[in-house]
Amino acid sequence: MSYTIGDGMVALALAGGIVGYLYLKHRSGQKRIEIIHQERMAAMEKGIPLPEFPLEPARERRQADPTVLPILGTVLLTLSVGAMIVLYLNRPAADHGMWVSPLPFAFLGVGLIAFHLLQAKSGR
């Protein structure tokens, strides 16, 4: 397999974009800490007491959405059944055995739907 100059340029651009994103994220965090420090120093000079607070706000824990599992299960099941039909109808006669390749995803979808139904019956 031979790579071209364009492939190298794409890889370099992607790496540069990732490094640039991480740099900007780091700089914005540093700028935020500097602003907080300046505000606290100005308040200390004026004699205003400031309460202690963490630099990173506590993240709220959201409850799990009960519709995610059946939706994901339905999507996996329908996509894999569709892929099995397409593979069976479009492959030559010698390759008809390839239609079973999406079967693990179909079983995964059925499993997610069954898990959701069993979880709903248990009252959770």
What does each of the 124 residues of the chain score in pLDDT, given as a tens digit?
A: 788 999 999 999 999 999 999 999 999 989 988 888 888 888 888 888 876 766 666 778 888 888 899 999 999 999 999 999 999 898 888 888 888 999 999 999 999 999 999 988 876 5
Structure-token pair, residue 75: 């999507």
As a whole number of Å, the end-to-end CA separation of the chain is 53
Is residue 108 within 8 A of residue 72, CB to CB? The reply is no
CA dist., res. 78 & res. 72, Å (int): 10
